[in-house]
A and B are shown apart, each in its own frame.
Chain A
Amino acid sequence: MGHVRHLYVHLPFCAHRCGYCDFVTAVGRHDQHGSYVDALLVELTIERSVLAEPLDTLFLGGGTPTFTEATELARLLERLPVAEELTVEANPETVTPGLARMLRDQGVNRISLGAQSFQPHLLAVLERRATPADVRQAVAHLREAGFDNISLDLIYGIPGQSSTDLARDLAEALALEPEHLSCYELEAKPGTRFTHAHGAELERQAEAMESYFEQVVDTLTAAGYRWYETANFCLEGTRAHGRELRARHNLGYWHGSDYLGIGMGAVSTVSGERRRNAPGLARYVAALVQGARPPSDVELIDRETSEREKLMLGLRLDEPLVLADVADAVDRSALERFAAGGLVDLTENGRGEEISLTRQGRFLGGGVTAELLLL
C-alpha cells in the first residue's frame, strides 16, 4: 500500500466550451463517455498501488463531470476508492433531482457548483448556459437530496461588471447559504477566445476593478465566512456547527501533500515526481485500451523546488507557515523588508519561526510571494 491520500479524477466533457476556459475539455462526445470511464478505471488499476485507502479526499473535476452520461458517471463512482471527502464539480443546468439523488447514493458528500454570476448580462459575457434561476434550482435539488456541503464558484471582474453588480452577485450567493465559496477574478488567459474578444476592455477596466477583491473579502467575512485561502471562503464556528468546511482536497495541494491525478491532462505529484498526462482524448483512451500508461511529461521536483512550491502554496492560506520547512526557498532580506512594511507577519513560538501574510499582504500575495522567493 502506498502513501497518497488524495485522488483527482478528470472528466473533460462539456456541453460547450466557455470563452474564458483554458482547461482540458472535450465538447459533447456522448458516444465516448463509456470508453473514457473504462480508460479511467484501467489507469486507476495501474496507479492504485500508490494510494493509501481509504482516501482522505477524492475530487471529480472537469470539464463538467455532471455532463458525463449519468449511467457512466454512476459506474465510475461505484468503482472509485472510498474517501472521507468526495467532491464532484457540477454545472447548475445539469443538476436534476435524479442526478442529485444518484450522486448522494454513490457517496458524494460535497458539491462544487459553477454558479459564476447571477446576472444574465454577465453570464452571457462568460458564455455560461445556466440562468440565475438554474443556480437557485440546482441548490434546492442538492439540498433536497441531502447535501450539506455545497460550494459555489463565483467569477468577478467580468467585462462590464460594476461594483453594484458584484455586490448583487455576492448577496445572491449568500442568500443560498452555501457552506463554501470560491471567488475567482476573471483571468484573460492568453490564446482564449475570451481574451481575443474582451482582453482590451479588461485592461481598460483594470484600475476600476482593483478594489473588487477587497469588496469580495469584506462582504464574505462580514457574512461570517473565513477567508482561509486567497480565493476560498467557508463557514466557520457556530455557523459551521463545528464542522471543518474548508476544501480538504484542495488543502492537500496547499499543504504540499502528494496527490494522484487520473484522466486526460491530469497531473500527479508523487514522491518528487510530477507527471502530467498528455491532453487529447483519443490518445489517452487508445493507450489505456492497450493497458499502457497514457503519454505523459515528467518533471522532477527537487527539494529546493518543493520548498519554493510549499512557500507559494502555503502563503495562500490564513495559517502560518513554519519557516524551517521553507528556509532554503525564502529570501531573508525581502522577508524582513515585508515584515517591516506590514505585509508579512514573522512570529516566533514553540515550533520556531512562522510566517504568514497580513491582511494587506494577502491582497498582494502574488507579488509578495514572488519577491520572497530565493532564486
Chain B
Amino acid sequence: MEQDRIRNFAIIAHIDHGKSTLADRVLELTGALTQREMREQVLDTMELERERGITIKAQAVRVRWRGHELNLIDTPGHVDFTYEVSRSLQACEGALLVVDAAQGIEAQTLANAYLAIDGHLEIVPVVNKIDLPQADPAGASRELGELLGEAPDRVLRISAKTGEGVPEVLDAIIERIPAPTGDPDAPARALIFDSSYDQYRGVVAFVRVVDGSFETREPLRAMAQGTAFEAEELGVLSPAHEPVSSLGAGEVGYVITGLKDVSRLRVGDTLTSRRRPAAEPLPGYQDVKPMVFAGIFPTDSDDYPELRDALERLKLNDGSLSYEPETSQALGFGFRCGFLGLLHMEIVRERLEREFDLDLLITAPTVAYRATTRTGEAVEVHNPAEMPRELEQVEEPYVKASVIVPKDYVGAVMELANERRGSFDHLEYLSEERVLLSYELPLGEIVLDFYDQLKSRTRGYASFDYDLAGFKPGELARVDILVGGEQVDALSLIIHRDFAYDRGRQLVERLRQEIPRQMFDVPVQAAIGSRVIARETIKARRKDVLAKCYGGDITRKRKLLEKQKKGKKRMKQVGGVEVPQEAFLAVLNLDSERKR
C-alpha cells in the first residue's frame, strides 16, 4: 500500500467516555467484523480489562475505508502507563480525542491530549454520547474547541453506541490526519509500541514501520537493548492475525520474534535489519523504572512456589513488572515487587488472586527513595525496613499532578493537596464551571490513598493524573513498629517527620486492637531509631481455663487444646507473640479503613 493511502491513528479518551465502543463501531462499519462476529469491546481482550473498563495492552487493528488502510492503535488509558501511551501515540500521525458529552474534559484526557500535541499529532476532536439525555454537546464542543484552538464546528458530534456520526469520523481520519512520510528506501526502522507473550511463539512485538521495509525471516536487532533475533513471522491484525510477507514504511503490524523473555524487547525501542542497519534509532526510548514497591507474601507459606510461578508467568506479558525474593520475619517468604504505579499494582494483585487463585498479603506500598548515608554512600531503597538508619539525606520522587474539578470543590482539593505536602503550581479555568489545578506532590503521599481521598472529598467529580517530576530531598523518617520489643519488619514505613507521630500512634493503636491478649503483657511501640514515639500495651489475659475435666470428656478437652495449639502454629511469631494474619491485614488496610 502506498503511504499516502495509509492513516495511523489512536483514540484518546477518559475511562468510560466510549473509546472501546467507538473502536467496536469502527470495526463493524468497515466490515472488519460482521455483526455476528461482533463482540462487545473487541480490543480489550483480558477479562480484567473488561471488568475495570480499562485497557492494559495496546493492540493495533487494520481496517479499510474508502480505498484507504486505517490502522487503529489502541492505547492504555491510565496514568501508570503514560510512557506506553506516548509510544503508542508516536506510532500515529493523528488521534481522535473523545470526550463524553455529559462529562466534558477530564484530567486524564488532558494529559493524553498534551502527549499527542507534544508528539505533533493531528487531533480530531470528537464529542461522544450525544444520545444521552443529560448530554451537552454544545458545551463539550466549546470546551474541546478551546483546548485545541479549533472552531467548535470542527468538533464531531457522535454516538458510538447508536453509530450516529461514526462514518463522518472515518472520513475525517482520511481528510484531516496526514499520511505517513517515512523514507521507503532508507535502512529499515520500526518503533516497538507494544509487546505480548504467546505461550507457543514467544514474544510478539507490535510495530510501526517508519522507514524502509521488513521481510519475513529477516535478521533483526532492537537498537537500544541490542537484542538480536529473526522475524519468524510478520503480520497484521484485521483483527485476526494475518501473516504477510513484508511490512513497509508507514504500515503497522506484528513481528513474531521467538524470544522467550518480554523484558528483552522493550516498548519504545527501534527495530532495524541486521542486513542493512539504520545508523540512528528512533527518538524517545526510555528505560521505564518501577516507582512503587510493595512486598507480596502468600497468606499460606506453603503457597510460596505457586506465587513465584505466577509472578514468572505475569512477567512474561508485563515487562514493567519487577520482583525479587524478600524474606520478612513477620510474613515469611515473599517478593518485593516494583510497579509503574498504583493501578499497575492493583492489576498485578488482582491477576495473581484471580488468575492464579492465590491468597496474598500485600504490604503498604512505598516508593523508591534515594538515600545518602553518613559515609557518603548512595543507595536506592525499595523497602522501608532496608532504609539505613544513619542518614545524611533522603530524596523522594515527586510528581506533577493535575486535578480537574467543578469549581465548588477547589477548596477541598487544595486542602487535600496541602495535607499531602503538595506545592501549588497553577490554577486554570477550563470553562465557567471547571477548573484545572496543578500541584507538585511527593509520590509517597499519593501511593497510599490520595486518589480515594480525592474522590470522596469531591463526591467523585475530580479527575486526576500525574507525571513523574524528579527527586527532591525531604525531611523523612523511618518509623519502625515493635511488638514485644521486636521489630516487625513488614510494618516499617518511611514518612515525613511531621506525620510520623500520628501515623505511629494509629498503627500501634490498631495493633493493640487486633492482636489477641496473650499470657504476658505485650508492649506495642512505634519508634524512630531508638526513640519511641507511641506505645500501647496489650494487657495479659487474666483467665484462660477449661472449667472442668473428668473421665467423660478427656478426649474432647484434649482435642480442644490440640486445636488451639495448631491454630497458634499457623500464626506468625513476632517477639514471642502470636500475631494472627488478620492483624497484619488490618494494619496494612489501615488506610482503606480510614477512608470509609
Contacts and interface: CB of A to CB of B under 8 A. Distances in A.
Given A312-B557, A373-B565, A375-B562, A367 B519 contact: yes
B392 to A, nearest CB: 41
Interface residues of B, number: 27
B548 A231 contact: yes
B543 A308 contact: no
Given A267-B552, A337-B576, A366 B545 contact: yes
Given A269-B554, A299-B555, A214 B543 contact: yes
A182 B550 CA distance: 12
A335 interface: no
Given A210-B542, A308-B562, A375 B569 contact: yes
B519 A370 contact: no
Interface in B528-558: 540-552, 554-555, 557-558
Contacts of B576: 337
A274 B562 contact: no
A128 interface: no
A363 B543 contact: yes
A187 B576 CA distance: 30
B566 interface: yes
A221 B564 CA distance: 30
A305 B558 contact: yes
Given A364-B543, A375-B569, A338 B558 contact: no
B412 interface: no
B114 interface: no
Interface in B541-596: 541-552, 554-555, 557-558, 561-562, 564-566, 568-569, 576
A337 B548 CA distance: 26
Contacts of B558: 305, 308-309, 312
B205 to A, nearest CB: 55
Contacts of A269: 551, 554
A211 interface: yes
Contacts of A337: 576
A365 interface: yes
B120 to A, nearest CB: 70
B561 A368 contact: no
Contacts of A371: 519, 565, 568
Nearest to A184: B547
A368 B519 contact: yes
A185 B520 CA distance: 22
Given A364-B543, A367-B544, A253 B549 contact: yes
Given A313-B549, A341-B519, A373-B562, A366 B554 contact: no
B551 to A, nearest CB: 5
Interface in B216-240: none
A175 B569 CA distance: 47
B550 A312 contact: no
Contact of A230 (B545, B562, B564, B566): B545
A210 B540 CA distance: 12
B552 to A, nearest CB: 5
B545 A213 contact: yes
A308 B559 CA distance: 10
A343 B551 contact: no
A364 B562 contact: no
A64 to B, nearest CB: 16
A266 interface: yes
A253 B562 CA distance: 19
A367 B564 CA distance: 8
A363 B545 contact: yes
A370 B561 contact: yes
A311 to B, nearest CB: 9
Interface in A295-316: 299, 305, 308-309, 312-313, 316
A259 interface: yes
Contacts of B545: 185, 213, 230-231, 362-366
Interface in B4-45: none
A253 B542 contact: no
Nearest to A260: B551
A333 B555 CA distance: 25
Nearest to A362: B545
B551 A375 contact: no
A253 B568 contact: no
B568 A370 contact: yes
Contact of B554 (A184, A186, A309): A309
Contacts of B520: 341
Nearest to A256: B554
Most chain B beta-carbon contacts within 10 A, residue among A250, A299, A370: A370
Nearest to B550: A253
A54 to B, nearest CB: 20
B543 A210 contact: yes
A366 B549 CA distance: 11
Interface in A325-341: 337-338, 341
A250 B550 CA distance: 7
Nearest to A156: B547
Contact of B561 (A213, A261, A341, A373): A373
B305 to A, nearest CB: 25
Contacts of B562: 308, 370, 373, 375
Contacts of B540: 364
Of listed B519, B520, B566, B569, residue having the most chain A CB within 10 A: B519
Nearest to B578: A371
Contacts of A231: 545, 547-548
Nearest to A209: B543
A375 B544 contact: no
Nearest to A212: B543
A118 to B, nearest CB: 20
A92 interface: no
A1 to B, nearest CB: 21
A195 to B, nearest CB: 14
A294 interface: no
Interface string A240-270: 0000000000100110000101000111010
A369 interface: yes
A185 B547 contact: yes
B545 to A, nearest CB: 5
A269 B568 CA distance: 29
A363 B544 contact: yes
A225 interface: no
Contacts of B543: 210-211, 213-214, 363-364
Contacts of A305: 558
Given A210-B543, A370-B561, A375-B562, A338 B551 contact: no
From A182, A186, A316, residue with most partner B Cβ within 10 Å: A316
A210 B517 CA distance: 13
Interface string A218-251: 0000000000001100000000000000000010
B519 A338 contact: yes
A367 B541 contact: yes
A369 B554 CA distance: 14
Given A230-B549, A312-B557, A375-B562, 16 more contacts: A184-B548, A210-B542, A210-B543, A230-B547, A253-B551, A261-B551, A266-B552, A267-B552, A269-B554, A312-B558, A313-B549, A365-B544, A366-B544, A366-B546, A367-B541, A369-B561
10 contacts: A211-B542, A211-B543, A267-B554, A313-B554, A341-B519, A364-B541, A365-B544, A367-B541, A370-B568, A375-B565
Interface of A: 8, 182, 184-187, 210-211, 213-214, 230-231, 250, 253-254, 259, 261, 265-267, 269, 274, 276, 299, 305, 308-309, 312-313, 316, 337-338, 341, 343, 362-371, 373, 375
Interface of B: 519-520, 540-552, 554-555, 557-558, 561-562, 564-566, 568-569, 576
Which 10 A-B residue pairings sit nearest by Cβ, starting from the closest? A370-B564, A367-B544, A370-B561, A184-B547, A366-B544, A364-B544, A213-B543, A366-B545, A267-B552, A210-B542
